[in-house]
Amino acid sequence: MDNLEYITKRTKSLVCPRKRNELIQSLIDDSNIDGNMRWYIENQDTLVWLYNGKHLVIVDRQVLGIFDTYEETQRWTEEKFYGEDFMIIKCEPGTRQYYIDEVR
């Protein structure tokens, strides 16, 4: 099972903030989760405060791109990070965005 399938499966059972916090902690503790995703989860509150609704490009646990649309984000990452690992995620509160847009 890859990271996306794992996160998707784990987040479908959320029913309350306490459960969300338990899930987040279990994801942070899980060594199978990609470092960029772990970093996003750990810093989600701050990132939402700064970039709510934007599409973020995360590389090596850093936000390197901020865009309004997924299409802009995808074009930029293809030019800048061809063949490298990166993560595109829409920055929103909650766990819905744990269905990662794209990981390479």
Q: Which two structure tokens, joined as six digits, stand for 46?
A: 């701050």
Longest dimension (CA), the chain: 41
Q: What is the pTM of this model?
A: 0.65
Would you give per-residue pLDDT tens digits along the chain (104 residues)?
Answer: 444 444 444 444 444 556 666 666 665 555 445 788 888 988 999 999 999 999 999 988 999 999 999 999 989 988 888 777 788 899 998 876 665 544 55
Which H helix or E strand runs over 56?
Answer: strand 55-59
Q: Which two structure tokens, joined as six digits, stand for 53?
A: 């609704």
Domain-wise residue ranges, the chain: 3-103
